[in-house]
Structure 1
Amino acid sequence: MQRAAERDQQGRRERRAKGRGRVLVCAAAVPVVLLVAGCSSGSDSGSGDSGSKGSDSGGTSSSTGAGATPTVQAAAYKKLPDSCAVLSKKTLTSLVPEAKSGKEGTSSDTATRASCSWSSLDNNGVKGSQFRWLNVSLLRFESDATRGEGDQLAHAYFAKQVKDAQAVEGAKNAKTTSVAGTGDEATLVRYDLKKKEGAFKQQTVVTRVENVVVTVDYNGAGLAGEKTPNADTLVKLAEQAAKEVVATVSAANGDGTAPSTSPSPSKSASPSPSKSSSASPSSSASKKS
């Protein structure tokens, strides 16, 4: 009996020892699990932050790297009329009464650049002669994504033409004024020029309508003793010609009505530049193209 009691007590001690061992093993295993879980959590968090930063960086890069393609409004006028047909016969008779026909200027692309000139010599023998010269030049600008819209490019060229007209060497009594009723902006430059043939009265009207610049050069002189023409009369004729050319350009592009000799309402007039001079008279015809 005593041995049986001792064996029973020994069994209980062994069972308790085994129980304590299992508790210690489990207790020892807990920090390992927590450590692994902690490392795993830190790794996931780190990769999450890294991915987020990478995503932000990628979004910024793509938004700044993809630039929008610049666009410009298409030019209003797509063509030019026949340069030698921009004025009516009636108008030409007033400006260059003895001219038989116009001389077309050289151009590699008449849809963009064109010109025509007329010369008139009313020979009165020993009483002298009246000389008139008229040149009309047209330049059309297309819109360009790198350079700008057609009407803006035309405006810049218009300003340059006015300055060129003011810069003629030897010009006297020069005046620069704005012209009403002609295109979107128009300027007249007038002056006197003494040449070996006689005293010339020069009128240059530069005007812009949409994306087209029109330059009208008109001069007159009394030769071989004939009296010098009235400058105010020549100015009116030059302005009349400029209005008619603008109307012809507009009509050729389906804008407005057919040209007429009566003044049309002005869209706007250009401010009068401060300097005075102009483009050369008849000898400058070779410069116009």
Structure 2
Amino acid sequence: MQRRAQRDLGAPPMPLRRRGSAQRAKRLHRVLAHAAAVPVMLVAVGCSSDSGSGSGDGGGGGKAPSATASASASPSPTVRPAAYAELPEPCDVLSKKTLGELVPEGAKSGKEGQSDDTSTRGSCSWSSLENNGVKGSQFRWLNVSLLRFESDITRGEGDRQAQEFYQKQVQDAQSVSGAKNTKSEPVPGAGDEATLVRYDLKKKEGAFKQQTVVARVENVVLTLDYNGAGLAGDKTPDADDLAKAARKAVEEAVAAVASANGDGGDSGTAGDSPSASKSASPSASESASPSRSAAQKS
């Protein structure tokens, strides 16, 4: 009885302890084996991710070019340089012979208009009064104005700006207040485009015959105003004669513009001219164009 009690209360038999230790050792071995496999899988996944990110740029591993870099590489906007970079002296655009025909008594009376930038705008006017005593007088008035447009990124090409201003000048000449018998006709051979606007304007001093020729050559607009009247009872001048003289004068003035720029201008060097950076503003354009009313002169 005593031996049996000792066996019940004492430690388990040796063979049982050995079997438990062996089982625990096997379980620990399996856990360690699984744990060791996890880093291998992570390394494999990491390698796979690196190779995938580099496939977009040829396997080099670098980042693909961003949209910002592509945008910054795009070229800056440009505009074609204006053909003409200079204007002639406004009082020298007509020869003495032509002035003698248009303003016989005022060929030397040229008066240059004020301009804050003679490279983009200028004007000159002449006045002639031939006094015939008791038979009255013949009055003539001539004005030439020039406006040059420079190419600009914001406003566009110089010749396109000049074309728009040319059209506006023609419309202004066709809509003068009080004008009668208004007629318009093209003037061939005067620049890229030219229009003659004719009308009658009756004033207290007499009946004026107005001739306005608007011409465009490249990026320059030239406006020639010429009118005549018979004052103090003298006969009214023939409108056709005045128109013929005006057409001849505008052709000569257009040629003077080309001559001032080397007989046709140089579109390749216009942008390098000191005056090329100066643009004619709308307000300057309006100040450069004379009024169409013959009431300015009497």
Please tell me the TM-score bracket, short chain as reference.
0.7 to 0.9
Quote the residue 1:40 is aligned against: 43
Aligned-residue identity in percent = 60
1:33 to partner: Cα distance: 4.3
Q: Is contact 2:201–2:294 with CA below 8 Å preserved after alignment?
A: no
Q: Secondary structure at the match of 1:165?
A: helix
Q: Does 1:236 align with 2:244?
A: yes
Gapped runs of 5+ residues in structure 2? Answer: 1-21, 266-289
Quote the residue 2:224 is aligned against: 216
Q: Deviations over 1:244-276 (max 9, x none)?
A: 00001101111159xxxxxxxxxxxxxxxxxxx
1:6-85 correspondence to structure 2 within 5 Å? 25=29, 31-46=34-49, 55-56=63-64, 59-64=66-71, 67-85=74-92
Normalising by structure 2, we get a TM-score of 0.74
CA distance in 2, matches of 1:195, 1:67: 62
Q: Does 1:86 align with 2:93?
A: yes
Q: Deviations over 1:124-147 (max 9, x none)?
A: 111111111000000111111111
Closer, same or farther: CA 30–255 of 1 in aligned 2, 3 Å: farther
Q: Is contact 2:210–2:294 with CA below 8 Å preserved after alignment?
A: no
1:268-279 correspondence to structure 2 within 5 Å? none
Q: Is contact 2:139–2:230 with CA below 8 Å preserved after alignment?
A: yes
Quote the residue 1:8 is aligned against: none
Q: Does 1:280 align with 2:292?
A: yes
1:121 to partner: Cα distance: 0.7
Closer, same or farther: CA 171–189 of 1 in aligned 2, 3 Å: same
Normalising by structure 1, we get a TM-score of 0.76
1:282 to partner: Cα distance: 3.7
Q: Does 1:106 align with 2:118?
A: no
Closer, same or farther: CA 196–48 of 1 in aligned 2, 3 Å: farther
CA distance in 2, matches of 1:122, 1:40: 108
Gapped runs of 5+ residues in structure 1? Answer: 1-17, 258-277
Closer, same or farther: CA 42–283 of 1 in aligned 2, 3 Å: farther
Q: Does 1:245 align with 2:225?
A: no
CA distance in 2, matches of 1:156, 1:66: 34
1:132-151 correspondence to structure 2 within 5 Å? 132-151=140-159
Closer, same or farther: CA 171–282 of 1 in aligned 2, 3 Å: closer
Quote the residue 2:262 is aligned against: 254
How many residues align? The count is 246
Alignment RMSD (CA, Å): 3.0
Q: Deviations over 1:56-86 (max 9, x none)?
A: 5x52232235553211122111111111111
Q: Is contact 1:168–1:279 with CA below 8 Å preserved after alignment?
A: no
